[in-house]
Amino acid sequence: MTQRTPLRARLLTALSGDPDGTPRWVRELAEGDDEGWFADGGAAWTVHAGMGTLVAGIRALLMQALHPGAMAGVHDFSRYREDPISRLNGTVRWVLSVTYGSREQAERETGRVARLHRRVTGEYTAGDGTEREYSASSADLVEWVHLAFADAFLTAHEVWGGPIPGGADAYVAEWAIAGRLMRVPDPPTSEAELRKRLRGFLERGELRADERTRDIVAFLRRPPFTGTMGIAYRVLFAAAVATIPRHYRRMLGVRRSVLPVVTATRIVLAVAERSLGSGPRAQDFARRRLAGLAASRRAGEAA
């Protein structure tokens, strides 16, 4: 039986909604008749298994907050203030299902997210001052969310993770598959293209910081975590800010800490990894599926 420590239970509840980290969707990673979209030991598996993802999630949300269309959807429809854990659980569920699940599970989870997005519509003021209509499934919004995510997870792994199989380009190219699943038009397939596409949003004047941006930044700065979790989170938030380029930090109204947050974050991530390492993780369930498929193939070849 997996030993459940208080810290591990709190981390897993925040990430998966379950103190053991094994809700139904995690157990389903062990099921399915195909190997999924990404290879075991490949770039996406490696990056998303790294503890730097704890920083990357915060960084991605901060960057996403700079698109007024994305913020309008969060402001108008999200219950992040009342139930932030539920929103986090939903995002983690999609990321891990797409990364480690069978193709059927990945597409089912993508469909679940798409159904939620279809009802998210409204109006917003763009960075150039024009009034625009938005839909959470519109091409520019899903592109910005994809770019911010890929940039955040790649950057955090480069700072706090190990080598990426195939390098940064391999990760961007692999995660382009997830972008296509989410109907991102022509997602980038190299690190250089990813950075260029991010700058394009800025140069076209599509980004802006307004009251909604300031609200989400204030919330992300101090979400409802207490005790050890609260202290650790403040370090992770500072780490996320430290990795954001200066011009985006200025728009967000945040500053780099004068403290050695990169080193402090290594300590926080090491503690989190030890806590989570006392039990199975998402990729372990995925490997059970892969082992079963390999055994079936061997049995078929021997017949």
Q: What is the pLDDT of residue 5?
A: 66
pLDDT of residue 31: 96
CA gap 229, 236 in Å, rounded: 10
- What is the predicted pLDDT for the residue at 165? 98
Among 218, 232, 234, which residue's Cα sits nearest to residue 272? 232
Min mean pLDDT across 84-98, 114-128, 270-284, 285-299 is at 114-128
- Residue 253, CB half-sphere, CA atoms under 13 Å: how many? 15
pLDDT(248) > 70? yes
Work out the angle at residue 25's Cα, subtended by the Cα atoms of residues 20 and 27, and round it to the nearest 5 degrees: 60
pLDDT in tens, 67-122: 988 777 676 656 556 556 666 788 899 999 999 999 999 999 999 988 877 777 77
pLDDT digits (tens, 9 = 90+) for 137-181: 688 888 999 999 999 999 999 999 999 999 999 999 999 999 999
- At 1 the pLDDT is 41
Mean pLDDT of 270-287: 87
For residue 278, the model assigns a pLDDT of: 65
Q: Which two tokens stand for residue 298?
A: 């061997």
pLDDT 10s digits, 179-217: 999 999 899 999 999 999 999 999 998 898 988 889 889
Element (H, E) at 122: strand 121-125
